[in-house]
Amino acid sequence: MKIVIAGGADFLGRQRARQLAQREPSARIVCFDQAVPTDAAADPRLQFIAGDIADAAAVAAVLGSDATSVFHLAAVVSGAAKADFDLGMRVNLDGTRALLDACRRLPAPPKLVFASSLAVYGGAVPPVVTDEVAPAPQSSYGTQKLIGELLVADCTRKGLIDGRSLRPPTIVVRPGKPNAAASSFASAIVREPLAGVEAVCPVALDSALWLASPQTALAGLQHAHDLPRDRWQRATCGRALNLPGITVTVGAMLDALREVGGDAARARVRVQHDERIAAVVGTWPARFDTQAAAELGFAGDADFTSIVRAYAREYGGALGSQPSPASAGEGAREASG
């Protein structure tokens, strides 16, 4: 068994790789990314390969002729895709196509789990978004992710891959340093204050977000991979699946920060409106009905305070020792937003 993780040097990709190494000790696990982490040799179970996901030859070489499962987590994040249209198109669109082209040339159709984004939604959406609401992206990032979903669905329909596209909530709290994602502040306003560092909140306290913990997101990736193909297809009709999350206002996030880190941690967050970020965040739906995901066995988090406590337990309130590393072809990624 050979498992390839595109975007495997990112926090989420590396956590996915470590879980797979424990779950499938006999599998060959290859992490493909723009750069090899400096501490890659610390885990001999994982193989790291540096390359550009938009380079079709490099991607084909990584998959070889024996890849059986692929996790596609690589992307140029929302803010970066907006700032550099060509880069977003090359990585998020051309890179996805290069990966799918390599997959369809394998001797047997591989399973492919694609991390899409809630940024596929935009414009006028109902108060609660259901699986029947049609995507209408209002950003380059969302448009590129939606095209990726459609390509995965079409390759699956043709029997070239066994694809599953997921739209996870914004993942909080992420360790490491801030990245170029518009949603980066959602982790920073918890992570930095717990480490004794001041943070800026760029949106109003009544702004609502659809969130999930890294642990829940990782479990969702595995569960999507493990579902039988016929069950996935019956439940989704080939569409991308909105994953469970919790709706939390920024004010409630800061209340949870105070509960876990005390008044001193809360005092380190300063609200300073940033129209650019607020405008992007304001287009994201914050309430979802994820009945289809629940029926397939996906689970969400209980509450945001539990998410903050879990982060504090695992990282001791310390800022991650490494910046969020590059996903294949770019300097950072996000799974949603």
Q: How far apart are CA 144 and CA 90, in angstroms?
A: 10
Three-state DSSP at 15 gives: helix
Of 71, 5, 63, which is closest to residue 32 (Cα–Cα)?
5
To which H or E segment does residue 269 belong?
strand 269-271
DSSP letter (8 states) at residue 288? B
CA distance 310 to 321: 18
* Calpha distance 313→256 (Å, rounded): 14
Extract the tokens encoding 97.
Answer: 């196509």
Alpha helix stretches (DSSP H) within the chain: 11-23, 56-63, 78-83, 85-88, 95-104, 140-157, 184-194, 214-226, 229-236, 250-267, 275-281, 291-295, 304-315
For 123, phi then psi, to 5°, come to 70, -150
Q: Which helix (H) or strand (E) holds 273?
A: none
Token code pair at residue 230: 């016929």
Per-position DSSP letters for 96-129, written without gaps between them:
HHHHHHHHHTSSSPPEEEEE--GGG--SS--SSB
Q: What angle do CA 332, 333, 337 make, to 5 degrees?
A: 135
* Catalytic center residues: 141
Integer CA distances (angstroms), 231 to 219, 223, 227, in order? 18, 12, 7
> Which strand (E) or helix (H) includes residue 91?
none
